[in-house]
Amino acid sequence: MDVTGVLHEAFGPDDVPSQAAENRARAALQQRMSSREPRVTSKDRRHRIRFAITAGVAVAAAAAVVAAVAVTRGDDHAPAPKAAPATSAVLPFARPASAAEYLENAAWTAERRPWTDPRPDQFMYIETLELRNKPAYENQHPNDPIRPGQGETRKIQEWNSVDGQTRASYRDGRLVVTKRGEGGDFFDRIAWSTITSMTDPDTIPDGVPGPGSMGVNLDAFIGQYVVPPNVQAAIFRHLARKPEMTVNPDAVNIDGRPAVGLGRIIEGYLSQELLFDKQTYQFIGERMVAIKDHVTHGDDGDAVIHRGDVYRQIIYAKMIIVDRPGDTR
């Protein structure tokens, strides 16, 4: 499906995006407002929503989605990938009905990915496809949902070293590699040892701790790091125990395939969801959509949200381990 087709699937023929076209899972958004809504300015809203979009986001449908996370090694003598767990080859739930059952199927699928532990000098490569407003419109209306006629799919490519010391991305068509502490581009990453320790659903934190006061919401974390299969499975099982997790009843077409949204209601009017392939239960993306009309009052005006407004939609096209920045396989 080409970009036009993807946007058509996301929005449908109506002027207002359908409820089945959204996503955004950001930790900051869960803390954006208290249960009693404070008075905020438009500047505050721009800061908060912009932060929610970018906080910890390396994250985001024009090409086929590669949602089963693969792992590559560049050396000829790399050990063979670890075999999948020797458990039943039958899905736990043939017809899942609840978020917990869907997430258990997702955990079961994740556990069967081949995996080779990366070296510290290798890189987590995450390629995402983000549905966003065109830059000119987005710069003028940073808080707006994705608008028909203004939306476009952007491919984002980022590389972060396993040891957290190097990152790379494309800027103006040029691959820029930054070492920690260089060029004023400050960044922190969660330690690999912390990531690999997250194998028990009972002890996984909702906020994954990082250096200093850094922390990443668990829903956002799985889109920012290439994690081992047993860690991803444990995260899904941890989320499955959350009573607030719900199943979005509307199927979403992602690159022509049906997807299911599993998530929670934020602030009473936003559905923050992780997206899974409805047939394979592979983790393929995230979205955030308004599930009902809402007005946020501010000193300099009101922000009006309409049911079906899409605030975030991201597809994870690749999440793999590579040898160096610029590698994509």
- Express each pLDDT in 116-143 by its tens digit: 999 999 999 999 999 999 999 999 888 8
Please check whether residue 195 lies inside any domain of the structure. Answer: yes
Q: Which of 16, 315, 303 is nearest to 146 (CA)?
A: 16
Q: Which two tokens stand for residue 299?
A: 């000193």
Q: Which of 283, 277, 270 is nearest to 310 (CA)?
A: 270
Q: Which of 27, 64, 65, 60 is nearest to 131 (CA)?
A: 60
Q: Which two tokens stand for residue 21?
A: 């076209």
Confidence grade of residue 186 (pLDDT, cut at 50, 70, 90): low
Is residue 222 predicted with pLDDT exceeding 80? yes
Q: Which two tokens stand for residue 148?
A: 């028909």
User: Sign of the C-alpha dihedral, residues 295, 140, 271, 48?
Assistant: negative
Q: What is the pLDDT of residue 149?
A: 82
Domain that holds residue 284: 3-322
Q: Residue 253: in which H helix or E strand, if any?
A: strand 252-254
Q: What is the pLDDT of residue 141?
A: 85
Please check whether residue 88 lies inside any domain of the structure. Answer: yes
- Please indicate whether residue 40 or residue 216 has the higher confidence score (pLDDT): 216
Q: Residue 157: in which H helix or E strand, if any?
A: strand 151-161
Across the chain, what does the average pLDDT equal?
76
Is residue 326 predicted with pLDDT exceeding 90? yes
Q: What is the pLDDT of residue 89?
A: 76
pLDDT-wise least confident of 55-69, 142-156, 166-180, 215-229 = 55-69
What's the rounded mean pLDDT across residues 55-80?
33
Task: Count structural domains, the chain.
Answer: 1
* Cβ atoms of 212 and 51 closer than 8 Å: no
Rg (CA), the chain: 19
Confidence grade of residue 325 (pLDDT, cut at 50, 70, 90): very high
Q: What is the pLDDT of residue 11?
A: 40
- In DSSP terms, 156 is beta-bridged to 128
Q: Residue 195: in which H helix or E strand, if any?
A: helix 192-196
Please check whether residue 159 lies inside any domain of the structure. Answer: yes
Q: What is the pLDDT of residues 6-58, one digit of tens each?
A: 434 444 443 433 333 333 333 333 333 223 333 333 334 333 333 333 333 33
Is residue 88 predicted with pLDDT exceeding 80? no
Helices 99-110 and 229-240, packing angle to 10 deg: 170
* Cβ atoms of 266 and 52 closer than 8 Å: no
Is residue 78 predicted with pLDDT exceeding 50? no
For residues 242 and 257, give the distance between their C-alpha atoms in angstroms, rounded to a whole number: 27
CA distances from 68 to 60, 157, 228, 319 (A): 15, 17, 12, 8
Residues 6+ apart with CB under 8 A from 25: 217, 219, 220, 223, 263, 272, 273, 274, 286, 287, 288, 312
Please check whether residue 327 lies inside any domain of the structure. Answer: no
Q: What is the DSSP string of 207-237?
A: EEE-STT-EEEHHHHHHHS---HHHHHHHHH
Q: Where are the alpha helices (DSSP H) in 27-98?
A: 27-30, 42-54
Confidence grade of residue 86 (pLDDT, cut at 50, 70, 90): very low
Please check whether residue 328 lies inside any domain of the structure. Answer: no
Residues 6+ apart with CB under 8 A from 181: none
* pTM listed for this prediction: 0.72
| Chain Cα centroid distance, residue 27 | 11
Please check whether residue 329 lies inside any domain of the structure. Answer: no
Phi-psi region of 249 (alpha: psi -120 to 50; beta: other; left: phi over 0): alpha
Look up tokens 């690159």; give the residue. 255
Is residue 164 predicted with pLDDT exceeding 70? yes
**Strand segments (E) across 3-91:** none
Please check whether residue 180 lies inside any domain of the structure. Answer: yes
Is residue 170 predicted with pLDDT exceeding 80? yes
What's the rounded mean pLDDT across residues 200-210?
93
Please check whether residue 147 lies inside any domain of the structure. Answer: yes
Residues 6+ apart with CB under 8 A from 220: 25, 26, 27, 55, 56, 57, 59
DSSP type of residue 84 = P
